[in-house]
Amino acid sequence: MTVPVIAIDGPSASGKGTVACRVAEALGFHYLESGALYRLVALVSLREGIALTEAARVAEIARRLDASFRDGQVFLAGQNVSEHLRSEECGKRASEVAAVPELREALLARQRAFRQPPGLVADGRDMASVVFPDAGLKVFLTASVAARAQRRYKQLIAKGISANLRTLSRDLEDRDARDAGRSVAPLAIAPGARLLDSTPLTVDEVVGQILDWYRESAPRAKD
């Protein structure tokens, strides 16, 4: 029997991470935050001074990446790098390295290895289109730029990090354009994906909608 997958794709700050994690918890499924893998490669490329033009070396980082995930934290060679990964610098670099086809190819097997019983919830940009095209439920989660900038603003302020709404909006728009405009695995609504606009919804409502869709698509999963 194939292990069920729920693929949740969407733009930056659409709330995919929070929602995917909650859906995984509710179903007792594993969780893959694929963006963290791109961010890890970005962090290593910055630390080691590897240029984006050196595609083979960027892909090589993915092959030797000593990454582990525990309790919502990300470790690189045993060191907790979660805070570094969340930085805007890392996010921007991640969306740049993500345009390197050799890197995307090198990360495929690593992402697919997360598909373990009893099931997987995976979030990213190409979960439904490339990594898990046979996912039983595909969701494209989005929200207006203003709503996403506002959410990110609140998160940063809550952490005591100063932030500027205009700059955040501009960064999000730049990242969206880069992710949607690249030639490999561009951010797009995959065929068969359900569109969910979270602008007017609470996290609970978004999670509830995805669980309803999952139960409709896999009626026996709820028993």
Residues lying near ligand C5P in the complex (CB under 6 A) are found at: 12, 34-35, 38-39, 91, 94-95, 98, 124-126, 175, 179
Instruction: Please state the closest distance from residue 194 (CB atom) to ligand C5P, in A.
Output: 18
Closest C-alpha to 211, from 27, 33, 14? 27
Encoding tokens for residue 35? 């963006």
Nearer to ligand C5P, 131 or 207 (CB): 131
Nearer to ligand C5P, 98 or 147 (CB): 98
The Cα–Cα gap between 154 and 29 comes to 29
Instruction: Please state the closest distance from residue 7 (CB atom) to ligand C5P, in A.
Output: 10
Nearer to ligand C5P, 4 or 35 (CB): 35
Instruction: Please state the closest distance from residue 36 (CB atom) to ligand C5P, in A.
Output: 6
Q: Which long-range contacts (CB under 8 A, 24 or more apart) does 170-174 make?
A: 171/88, 171/92, 172/11, 172/12, 172/13, 172/145, 172/148, 173/145
Nearer to ligand C5P, 35 or 119 (CB): 35
Within 8 A by CB and 6+ apart from 143, the residues are 13, 14, 15, 151, 197, 198, 199
Instruction: Please state the closest distance from residue 111 (CB atom) to ligand C5P, in A.
Output: 8
